[in-house]
């Protein structure tokens, strides 16, 4: 188990566009494994490579549903449907939450760790996680698109 340091806002890497992964190497596979280990250790549901300081287009997501761990290389959203509005947090922005409007259902495609093209359709939290993590690959944080950002106290209460 190799944990990576999660980059914190306002680090500039979080605001840059990640580069396409052109070849899946052992280092890319190690990055995916390390990202999953780091996400689980931090009790998150998603993590993008820029959040561990790597400007590559890779994400990991696990919202605790039947899909389990999803690893995507060069992911892109191919369709969006509906709308949901709710709170989001981020492992790179400690102590804050934001109310963000997202699509209710999204379909994403990308490559798995073996270079096979894969497609996932997610609703609710999975759809939100896909959109949040793919935003990271484009240098966009949830605080950039939130309608309201607020602080969370150590007791877990909202402080505006």
Residues acting as catalytic residues: 133
Range of the domain at 126: 12-159
Decide: 119 and 70 in contact? Cβ < 8 Å: no
Asked whether residue 4 is assigned to any structural domain, the reply reads no
Asked whether residue 65 is assigned to any structural domain, the reply reads yes
Mean pLDDT for 2-9 is 97
Asked whether residue 7 is assigned to any structural domain, the reply reads no
Measured over the CA atoms of residue 139, residue 5, residue 69 and residue 54, the dihedral's sign is: positive
Asked whether residue 87 is assigned to any structural domain, the reply reads yes
Q: What pLDDT digit, counting tens, does each position of 118-159 carry?
A: 999 999 999 999 999 999 999 999 999 999 999 988 777 677
Binding site as annotated, residues: 90, 132, 136
Count structural domains, the chain: 1
Asked whether residue 6 is assigned to any structural domain, the reply reads no
Asked whether residue 86 is assigned to any structural domain, the reply reads yes
Looking only at the bridges linking them, the beta strands covering 105-111 and 70-81 are antiparallel
Asked whether residue 30 is assigned to any structural domain, the reply reads yes
Q: Is 16 helix (H, G, I), strand (E, B) or coil?
A: coil
CATH of the domain at 145: 3.90.45.10
Percent of the chain whose predicted confidence (pLDDT) is above 70: 98
160 falls in which pLDDT band (50, 70, 90)?
Answer: low
């Amino acid at each position: 188990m190799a944990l990576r340091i999660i980059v914190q806002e306002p680090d500039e890497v979080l605001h840059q566009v990640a580069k396409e992964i052109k070849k899946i190497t052992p280092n890319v596979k190690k990055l995916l494994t390390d990202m999953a280990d780091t996400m689980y250790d931090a009790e998150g549901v998603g993590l993008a490579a820029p959040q561990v300081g790597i400007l590559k287009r890779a994400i990991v997501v696990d919202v605790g549903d039947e899909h389990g761990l999803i690893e995507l290389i060069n992911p892109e959203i191919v369709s969006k449907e509906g709308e949901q509005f709710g709170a989001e947090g981020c492992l790179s922005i400690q102590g804050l939450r934001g109310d963000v409007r997202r699509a209710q259902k999204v379909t994403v495609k990308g490559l798995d760790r073996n270079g096979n093209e894969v497609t996932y359709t997610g609703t609710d939290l999975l759809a939100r996680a896909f959109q949040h993590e793919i935003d990271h690959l484009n240098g966009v944080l949830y605080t950039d698109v939130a309608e309201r950002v607020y602080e969370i106290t150590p007791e877990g209460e909202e402080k505006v």
